[in-house]
Structures are given as C-alpha cells and as structure tokens.
Structure 1
Amino acid sequence: MGTLTPTRPVGPDSDLTRRRLLLGAGAVTAWGVLSGCATTGGTDPARPAAAPNRVEHLRGVTEVPADPQRVVTVGYSDQDAVLALGVRPVAVTDWYGDYPYAVWPWAQQALGDAKPTVLNKGQFTGTPDYRYEQIAALRPDLILGLYTSMSEDEYRKLSAIAPTVGPPKGYPEFAAPWEAVTRLAGQALGRTDAAEKAVAGVKDKVEATRRAHPEFAGRTALVAERFQPGASFVRSPGDPRSQLLTGLGFVVPDDIPALQGQNDGAPVSDEQMRLLDRDVLLWNIGSKPSNRAIIEKLPLYPLLNVVKAGRSIFVEDPLVSGAWTWGTVLSLPTVVDALAAKIAPTLAR
C-alpha cells in the first residue's frame, strides 16, 4: 500500500492511488442544460414554492431548486445525511463495506425499497474519482459533495451538470463536524427543520452518555489505525472519530508533530510509538481485526504505560468500527454506547 495522504478519507485497505479525471470540460458542459430539469414545490413554508435556495459552502454559493427530487451524492458518506432527512438519492458513492447500494445497516431502514445507482462500486481509491458522464446520464437536479475533497475544476465540472454543493465552509476538507454536514444537507434540500431535529437527537444521546461517564472528562485519548507496515495512522483532533471522543469528554492531544496542520491524521512510525502513550489508546481495526496481532507484536507496544494499565482498546466489531469511521448523523447512535461500554471498565481499574 502506498503512502497515506492525511487529507483524504482512509478506508480499509485503501491503496490511495490517485486516479486521473478522464472527462474534459467540454463534454461536461454539454450536460449543463440538465440543471434546469429540477422539480419545484419547496418544503420550507417561509419560502415561495418555486424559489431557489441559496446555499453557501466551501466552493461558493449555489442556487438549489426548491425540493430537489433527483439527488446525487458524491461524498463518501453523504448518503447518510440525505437519508436522515427523508430523501432517497438516485445515486451514491461507495466508500467501503460491501453493503447493498453502499448503505450500511444503520441507514437501510431509511433507504427503504430505493435502489440508487452506485457510482463506483468496489473501486474506492481514497481520492475522489467523479464519474461525470455517469452522473450526467442520471439527470440530477442536485449534486452533493459534503464529505469529500473538491477542487475548483472538479466543482466547475460538476456544476455544469447540475447545481452542486461542496463541503461545509469554514473547515478543512474531510474535517467538518457531522453536525455541519447534516445542517448543510438540510439547507441544500430545503429541510432545515428536519436537520436540526436530527442533530439534536444525536447530540442528546452523546451528552447523555457523557453525563453517565464523568470518568471520561479530561482524560487524554488517541485513535489509531493500521494501514501499512512500519507506522500507525493516528487521527488528528479535527477528525470525526476524534471529535466523538471529545464529545464524550475526552481530550484529544494536539502535541504530536506529525499531526500538526493535518486534517484527519498522519502516520506515526513504530520507532515513535511512545507518542501514542496517553490515558486511553483506541485502535479502530474493525475492517481488519487481524491487525491486532501485528500491533501487539511491535517491539515498543508492550512498553507503553497505556498498555500496561490495560487501557489500549481494540475496536474490532466491523459494524461498530464502521459506524465510528463514518461518523454521520445516522451512524453515531450505533457506536456511542458501544465505545463507552469498552472504555469505561478500563478506567475503573
């Protein structure tokens, strides 16, 4: 596997090989007329039924038709935010997991009997690979790219097909909190009330778990994974996995040199493994539980105080690990209780 790129979402066993974008601007522009195919009839009573919705995001401001019906999601986990708001996309982007229609169990009820096109089934590369021709053929009236990176050129090509909303403004790509992603989806879909309700429900659950475990407050914690020999990939404080720990009361330290200035994390060599020695060390390895044996055989691993204290915790359940990695408004309820149940006994020792 190649060198990990911290500003990209790292899925299990990713080779992170950047793919070339094959479609020229001229071919995409030819599809630009499709952006006028949206239906109307907005869901916000404060706005005239046919009024477009102005949505601000990282790449600018987009006028979205009221009540878009044919929504395509090109972000790796965007389908969750859309489904949470009662909209079933016509196409989604596959991250990992090998579930039907790229929808994990926590979101399958919201999907219902819909059968969205999967734009890149089984071909996750760790970097966006926008299928412009395939997207255009679907005749979308809205394209969402919330949990992804999107260059100006990519944004321009997608916008030539249909109104496109990029990642949330004010955050590095791949590092926007799940709340911001959900709210931006709500704005784009004209369902701001539903978005706020969904956010409040998850925040209430996280806060209730935090109150139930006062022993978490102020303790330092790190999230690590294993993707390549010779290094552990450590999640930065801004990564959604780390943000959940912060929500539970933990402090995710920012003093590891490799992580400074990184969006979602960076490799820390095995020779520097002592940098991982914190109150709690969580290994998110559900996509490949066999990595536990590799980690436990590393020379410095048994010398860490966190290991000696029994607070090096392996999250091996594929569903729990996946829900934590996705970090969405639909997935988080699956992981909050499970994480707390694994961590709490180790801090009681």
Structure 2
Amino acid sequence: MALSRMRRAAAAAAVAVLSLSACSTGATGENQASGTAAEDQFPVTIEHAFGETTIEEAPERVAAVAWANAETALALDVVPVGMPLIEFGGNDHGTTPWIDEALDGLDASIGTENAPVQYSEADGIAFDDVAATDPDVIIAAYSGLSQEDYDKLSRIAPVVAYPETAYGTPWQETTSMIGKALGRSAEAEQLIADTEHAIADKAAEYPQLEGKSFIYANLVPGGDTSIYTDLDSRPRFLQALGLTMAPVVEENIKGEEFYITWSNENLDQLDSDIFLSWVASQEVADSLASDPLLGQIPAVKNGSFVADADPTRTVSISAINALSIPYALDNVVPLIADAATAADNAK
C-alpha cells in the first residue's frame, strides 16, 4: 500500500540494517532498536496504569500480548520474537493481510526461520509461551491487563502497559509508547503524522462523509443491541474521517463505558444519518431490513446502513492501529461512503 511503501522508503537505512542479521528466533527488534539508540537515549521510563516501567537499554527481543501491539511494532519495522495469533478475522496463518505484508517486507514471513513465534490468547495471556521467547520487553500498550496479569508478565520482562483505561488507548498513544520503548520515538511520531495524513486524504475523497451522524453497533436478531461509545476504536476511526456520533448515543453514555445496551423496543429512537454494525454472518446482514424490530432503525429503513459480515474488515477497525489503518481506509471507508450517499438520497 502507498502508506506502507512511504514508511519503508523513509526508513530504508533501518531496513538495510535489519536485512543483515536476525536473531535465531526471528526477532529483528535487536537491529531496529539498537540502530536508533543514539537518538533515543536509554534508560527510558514509561508511565502506565500500574505505575511506571523503566527499560534500561534498547531492547533486542520484543514480545507482544493482546491486539494491536505486535502490529504497531511491525509498523515501526520491528519484528517481535512473539505475538498472538489473530483468532477472529485472521487467515490460515493466524495473521491478517496487513500483518503478512509487513512480515514479508521485513523478511520474516510466517513459516520462515525469521518469523515470530505465535501463541493463542483464546484462554487469556499465554504466559508460558511469552516467557519462552525470552523477551527483553513486553508491549501491551493496547490491552486489558489486570494487576495480576501485569505482575506475572513483569516477572518475565519489563512491561509497557496501557496508560489509563483497559482497551482504551488511542492508536496514536499506542504508537508513541511503543516507539519510546523500542528506541524509535522519531519514527513513531513520523508514522503518526503519515497515518493521520492518509486518513485526511481518504476523507477528502469522500466529501459526503463530513458531518454525517453515525451509530456503530452490533446487531443480533432476537438479541440485545450493543452500541459503541467513543472510548471504542471504531467510533474514533469514524470521527477521524469527519463523521459525528449521533446525539442519541452521546446523551445515553453514563460514564467510562465502551458500549451501551439498547432495548429492542426502542430501536426506532436510534436516529442517525448512517448506521454501521458488524454481524455474525452474511445471512444476518441480509435479514436486517426485514427483521420486525431491527428494521425499525431509521437508517436501516433508509438504506443508509452498513452490515459488515467480513471479519477481516471488522478486525481492521476493532483494535485499530497504524498497520491496519491503510487496509481499513481501502476496504471499510468505501462502504461507509456508500451509506453516506444513501443518507443524502433519502433526504
């Protein structure tokens, strides 16, 4: 993709260093981090929800837990020694198209000797598997670590935890924190700027998005409707494109919550220009308009809604990060723009 090529061109010197050598476990974090040590002086101290973590020297072996963290490292051209399998929205490699592209470009494709170790987090953090990678640092800036999780991981290596709210770290802050931990702060700030520029450019391609109100939810025929708040990365992504959260959602947020549950008896009150939902299957998506309850949502009636049954598209914005954003821009935004056009036509 264009953004990925631009990043790699800007970091050509670092990539050249990367290609010269790699750890036996496939970690290229050693070369990338130490290559910028003169710029980012160690030790560095990173504050987070559980206190602060001091990293004494540029890490050579980087392990990731939870979503988005391994992807952010890859966006900074650092291949982790270990990372979680993508078990929702993933492909046969337990990765995604954007992860595969990054690994291919860093000579660390899954199945090769330089590839990261992958571990399942279906039952929670794989502590033993993480420990087996012998990491110098564990990145979890976007995660839901408990105090117990943090304490266990800290016995393995220094941990970069989330700054305030579990699973609430904006992708920009995730990028900054991980960049600092890896000795790549300047690269992280450039990556943020490039990515924000790419978002603005994509929004400019679809002027019909500007100012449209939206609701992002999970619709389940016969079940409760969950509506995501702006603590969640999906609404944040839509807001970055120029859309605004529907007033009916903002008025019903009671505190720091990622979603609110909406009674199906009141679905006709969910007024917005655009309504977006991830759904479990294409069959569910096709049934929404005719569902006696869900069909009462104004945007569903108007045809200005997106019911996305593609798990890869869904995961690209569910834990959005600098590596997944280009994919989301190319594959999710056009769907939203079509709904915005339908909203205009319905007026």
What's the offset of the Cα at 1:227? Answer: 5.8
Normalising by structure 1, what TM-score?
0.78
Ranges in structure 2 where 5+ consecutive residues have no aligned partner? 1-29, 109-113
Which one of 240, 251, 265 corresponds to residue 259 of structure 2? 265
| Identity of matched residues, % | 26
d(CA) in 2 for partners of 1:293, 1:115 = 39
Question: Counterpart of 1:346?
Answer: 342
- 1:194-213 equivalent positions in 2, closer than 5 A: 194-213=187-206
d(CA) in 2 for partners of 1:181, 1:47 = 17
| 1:296 match: secondary structure | coil
Normalising by structure 2, what TM-score?
0.78
d(CA) in 1 for partners of 2:221, 2:161 = 30
Stretch moving more, 310-319 or 39-48: 39-48
Question: Contact between 2:40 and 2:184, CA under 8 Å: does it hold in 1?
Answer: no
Which one of 43, 52, 56 corresponds to residue 52 of structure 1? 43
| 1:81 match: secondary structure | helix
Question: Contact between 1:71 and 1:144, CA under 8 Å: does it hold in 2?
Answer: yes
Which one of 101, 111, 115 corresponds to residue 109 of structure 1? 101
CA RMSD of aligned residues (A): 2.5
Which one of 110, 122, 125 corresponds to residue 124 of structure 1? 122
- 1:1-349 equivalent positions in 2, closer than 5 A: 41=34, 43-48=36-41, 51-95=42-86, 96-99=88-91, 102-112=94-104, 113=108, 114-120=114-120, 124=122, 129-167=124-162, 169-170=163-164, 172-226=165-219, 229-253=222-246, 255-256=248-249, 259-285=253-279, 288-344=281-337, 345-349=341-345
CA deviation map 1:197-220 (0-9, x unaligned): 211121011112233333322221
| 1:69 match: secondary structure | coil
d(CA) in 1 for partners of 2:319, 2:166 = 15
d(CA) in 1 for partners of 2:153, 2:36 = 25
1:296–1:43: structure 2 CA closer, same or farther, 3 Å change rule?
same
d(CA) in 2 for partners of 1:149, 1:254 = 28
Amino acid at match of 1:234: I
1:102–1:192: structure 2 CA closer, same or farther, 3 Å change rule?
farther
Question: Counterpart of 1:21?
Answer: none
CA deviation map 1:213-249 (0-9, x unaligned): 3332222101112468411221112211100110111
Amino acid at match of 2:342: T
Question: Contact between 2:64 and 2:138, CA under 8 Å: does it hold in 1?
Answer: yes
| 2:267 match: secondary structure | helix
Question: Contact between 1:92 and 1:102, CA under 8 Å: does it hold in 2?
Answer: no
1:46–1:327: structure 2 CA closer, same or farther, 3 Å change rule?
closer
Q: How many residues align?
A: 302
What's the offset of the Cα at 1:274? Answer: 2.4
d(CA) in 1 for partners of 2:46, 2:336 = 40
The structure that is helix-richer by fraction is 2
What's the offset of the Cα at 1:255? Answer: 4.1
Question: Contact between 1:234 and 1:268, CA under 8 Å: does it hold in 2?
Answer: yes
What's the offset of the Cα at 1:101? Answer: 5.2
